[in-house]
C-alpha cells in the first residue's frame, strides 16, 4: 500500500492541473511545477535510500518515509497558494524517495526464498495499477470534490501503513552499518539529476534548446554527471554503487526495466491526453479507458509468478514485450471516431504484458546481486527508472506535438482552395446552410484531429518497435537462477 500510495501520487494530479491552477489563481503553464517539483525531489531522494537503509535499517527508514509522505500530503491538501503547494510537493517527493526501493527490499526479506517470485508479483501489481488509478481518481475528485482531496486521501492510508509495518516488521529490522555519507557525490547528484529533471519537465514549453534556460540546464546536467561519475568510481562509500553494473544481468536488466517502464508510462500519459484534447472525453472517462490494463494486470501477475517457478524468466519477459508490441500495433490502427471498446481492447492486451513484465525483468536484474548489496541495487535500479520515465514522458509529448505540426502541414497542402476535393466539401457544407467561414472552420478542426491521430499512430509504432528491441536485450542476459534471489535477511 505504501508503494501504491507513492506511485499514485505521481499521476493523480496530472488531469487536475487546470482545476488546481484555476483555484489558486495560476496559469496552466505555472501549474506544471506541481508535477515537476515532485518528480525532481523524488528522483534526488531515491539514490540516498541505499545509504539510509544500511545506516538505520530498512524497516525504520521505510516507516519514517511513509510518515513523512503522509505529513507532506496533508500540507499539500491544505496549501493556500501555488508557491506553498510547490514547496510542499518538493517536501513530499524528497521524503518519499525510500518508499519504492524500501518496499521492494522488505518484500524480498519477509518472504521465504522459494516464494520470492510471489513477493515480486505482489509488489509489481501496485506499481502497475497505481499509475492507471491516478488519472481516474484525480479526474473524479476534481469533478466531484475539492482538489485538495487528491492529496488528503493519502493521510489515513499512510497512517495505517506506517502503523502496520512498524507493529509487524520492527522485530525483523535489518543489520545496520555506520558508513560515512558520500556528501560530495550526493551534492553532484543533486546538481545533475535536478538540472536534468527540470530540463525534461520544462523543455517542451520553453522550446527546448531555443531557450537559454534549457541550454544552461543541459550544460549543468552534463558537467555534473561527468564529475559525478569520476567521483563515484573512486569513492569508497558511494551514494550510488556503480560497481553493480559489473554484473551483466543487473546492467542489461536495468536497461530493459527502464525501457519497458518508460514506454509504458509515456503511453499511459499519451492515451488520456489524446482522448481529452481530441475526442472530447472527460478526465474521468479518459482514466476509465485505461482501467482494463490494471484489472487484467492484477489477474495476470500471480499467474506469471507461478509460471516463473518452472519457466526461464527470459521467456516470460519475451512474452510480455511481444504482447506490448501487439498492443501498440493495434493502437496504430485506431481512427478518429474509434469507440470506447476499440480503444480499450488494445489496453486489455497491454494488461497481459504488464502483468508479467515487471516481475520478469526485476527477477533478471536482481539475479546474482549479493545479499549485502540488495538495498543499493533496489535504489540504483529505481533511480534509473525515474530518470528513464522523465526522458520518455518528455520525449513522447514533444514528438507528439511536433509530428502533429508536420502532419497538419501535409494535410493542409492537400486541402487547399486549389484542390477540387476541398472545394467540393466546402460547397456541400455551404449547401447545408453553413457560411463559408464556418465551413472552413469545420474542415480545419477535422485536419487538426487527423493530425493528432497520425501523430499518435507514429508514437504507437515507435513504442511497438522499442518493445521488440527490448526482447533482443532480454536474451543477452544470463538465465536467472530459480528460487535463489538474494534477500536482505533470512
pLDDT tens digits for range 35-65: 777 877 887 888 888 778 888 888 888 899 9
d(CA 370, CA 488): 9
At 248, list the grid cell.
551483466
What is the arithmetic mean of pLDDT over 466-486? 79
- For CATH 1.20.1250.20, list the domain ranges present in the chain: 2-181+237-403+453-474
Place of cell 492541473: 17
Distances (CA, A) of 226 to 128, 229, 233, 309: 33, 5, 11, 41
- Backbone φ and ψ for 240, nearest 5 degrees, come out as -125, 125
Do 98 and 45 meet the contact criterion of CB atoms below 8 Å apart? Answer: yes
pLDDT given for residue 75 in this prediction: 94
Place of cell 496530472: 14
pLDDT higher than threshold 90 for residue 290: no
Average pLDDT, the chain: 82
pLDDT tens digits for range 220-253: 999 999 999 999 888 888 888 888 898 899 999 9
pLDDT given for residue 70 in this prediction: 94
pLDDT tens digits for range 327-384: 999 999 988 888 888 998 998 888 888 778 888 888 888 887 887 787 788 778 888 8
pLDDT category at 490 given cuts 50, 70, 90 is very low
pLDDT given for residue 228 in this prediction: 93
Look at the alpha carbons of 206, 209, 215, 217 in this order and tell me if their dihedral is positive or negative.
Answer: positive
d(CA 404, CA 397): 11
Of 230 and 309, the one with more pLDDT? 230
The pTM assigned to this predicted structure is: 0.78
d(CA 381, CA 361): 11
pLDDT category at 2 given cuts 50, 70, 90 is low
| CATH level 3 topology of 2-181+237-403+453-474 | Growth Hormone; Chain: A; (1.20.1250)
pLDDT category at 308 given cuts 50, 70, 90 is confident
pLDDT given for residue 417 in this prediction: 63
pLDDT given for residue 489 in this prediction: 34
pLDDT category at 200 given cuts 50, 70, 90 is confident
pLDDT given for residue 73 in this prediction: 92
**What percentage of the chain has pLDDT greater than the value 90?**
21
**What percentage of the chain has pLDDT greater than the value 70?**
89
pLDDT given for residue 292 in this prediction: 77
pLDDT tens digits for range 102-112: 787 777 677 76
pLDDT higher than threshold 90 for residue 287: no
pLDDT higher than threshold 90 for residue 259: yes
pLDDT given for residue 421 in this prediction: 66
pLDDT given for residue 23 in this prediction: 82
At 360, list the grid cell.
520478469
What is the arithmetic mean of pLDDT over 430-438? 71
pLDDT category at 483 given cuts 50, 70, 90 is very low
pLDDT higher than threshold 90 for residue 411: no
pLDDT given for residue 395 in this prediction: 82
d(CA 149, CA 133): 15
Of the candidates 354, 357, 355, 366, the one whose C-alpha atom is nearest the C-alpha of residue 317 is 357
Of 312 and 121, the one with more pLDDT? 312
Do 135 and 11 meet the contact criterion of CB atoms below 8 Å apart? Answer: yes
pLDDT higher than threshold 60 for residue 486: no
pLDDT category at 71 given cuts 50, 70, 90 is very high
At 200, list the grid cell.
525534461
Amino acid at each position: 500500500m505504501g508503494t501504491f500510495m507513492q506511485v499514485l501520487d505521481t499521476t493523480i494530479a496530472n488531469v487536475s492541473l487546470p482545476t488546481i491552477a484555476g483555484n489558486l489563481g495560476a496559469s496552466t503553464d505555472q501549474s506544471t511545477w506541481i508535477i515537476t517539483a515532485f518528480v525532481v525531489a523524488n528522483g534526488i531522494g531515491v539514490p540516498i535510500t541505499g545509504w539510509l537503509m544500511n545506516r538505520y535499517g530498512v524497516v525504520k527508514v521505510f516507516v519514517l518515509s511513509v510518515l513523512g509522505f503522509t505529513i507532506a500530503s496533508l500540507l499539500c491538501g491544505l496549501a493556500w497558494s501555488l508557491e506553498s503547494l510547490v514547496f510542499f510537493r518538493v517536501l513530499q517527493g524528497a521524503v518519499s524517495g525510500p518508499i519504492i526501493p524500501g518496499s521492494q527490499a522488505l518484500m524480498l526479506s519477509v518472504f521465504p526464498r522459494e516464494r520470492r517470485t510471489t513477493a515480486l508479483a505482489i509488489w509489481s501489481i501496485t506499481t502497475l495499477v497505481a499509475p492507471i488509478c491516478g488519472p481516474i481518481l484525480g479526474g473524479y475528485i476534481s469533478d466531484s470534490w475539492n482538489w485538495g482531496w487528491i492529496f488528503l486521501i493519502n493521510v489515513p492510508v499512510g497512517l495505517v501503513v506506517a502503523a502496520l509495518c512498524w507493529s509487524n516488521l520492527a522485530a525483523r529490522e535489518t543489520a545496520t552499518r555506520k558508513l560515512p555519507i558520500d556528501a560530495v557525490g550526493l551534492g553532484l547528484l543533486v546538481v545533475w539529476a535536478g538540472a536534468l529533471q527540470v530540463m525534461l519537465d520544462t523543455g517542451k514549453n520553453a522550446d527546448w534548446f531555443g531557450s537559454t534556460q534549457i541550454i544552461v540546464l543541459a550544460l549543468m546536467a552534463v558537467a555534473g554527471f561527468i564529475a559525478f561519475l569520476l567521483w563515484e568510481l573512486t569513492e569508497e562509500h558511494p551514494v550510488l554503487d556503480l560497481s553493480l553494473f559489473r554484473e551483466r544481468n543487473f546492467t542489461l536488466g536495468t536497461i530493459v526495466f527502464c525501457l519497458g517502464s518508460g514506454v509504458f508510462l509515456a503511453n499511459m500519459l499519451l492515451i488520456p491526453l489524446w482522448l481529452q484534447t481530441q475526442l472530447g472525453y472527460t478526465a474521468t472517462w479518459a482514466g476509465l479507458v485505461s482501467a482494463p490494463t490494471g484489472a487484467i494486470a492484477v489477474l495476470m501477475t500471480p499467474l506469471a509468478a507461478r509460471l516463473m517457478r518452472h519457466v526461464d524468466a527470459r521467456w516470460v519477459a519475451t512474452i510480455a514485450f511481444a504482447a506490448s508490441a501487439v498492443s501498440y500495433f493495434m493502437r496504430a490502427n485506431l481512427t478518429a471516431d474509434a469507440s470506447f471498446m476499440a480503444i480499450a481492447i488494445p489496453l486489455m492486451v497491454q494488461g497481459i504484458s504488464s502483468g508479467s513484465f515487471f516481475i520478469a525483468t526485476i527477477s533478471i536484474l536482481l539475479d546474482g546481486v549479493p545479499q549485502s548489496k540488495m538495498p543499493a541495487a533496489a535504489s540504483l535500479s529505481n533511480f534509473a527508472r525515474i530518470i528513464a520515465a522523465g526522458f520518455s514522458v518528455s520525449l513522447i509529448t514533444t514528438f507528439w506535438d511536433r509530428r502533429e505540426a508536420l502532419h497538419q502541414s501535409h494535410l493542409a497542402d492537400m486541402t487547399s482552395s486549389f484542390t477540387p476535393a476541398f472545394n467540393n466539401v466546402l460547397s456541400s457544407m455551404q449547401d447545408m446552410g453553413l457560411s463559408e467561414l464556418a465551413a472552413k472552420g469545420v474542415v480545419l478542426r477535422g485536419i487538426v484531429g487527423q493530425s493528432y491521430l497520425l501523430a499518435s499512430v507514429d508514437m504507437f509504432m515507435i513504442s511497438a518497435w522499442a518493445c521488440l528491441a527490448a526482447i533482443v536485450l532480454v536474451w543477452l542476459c544470463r538465465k536467472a537462477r530459480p528460487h535463489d534471489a538474494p534477500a536482505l535477511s533470512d
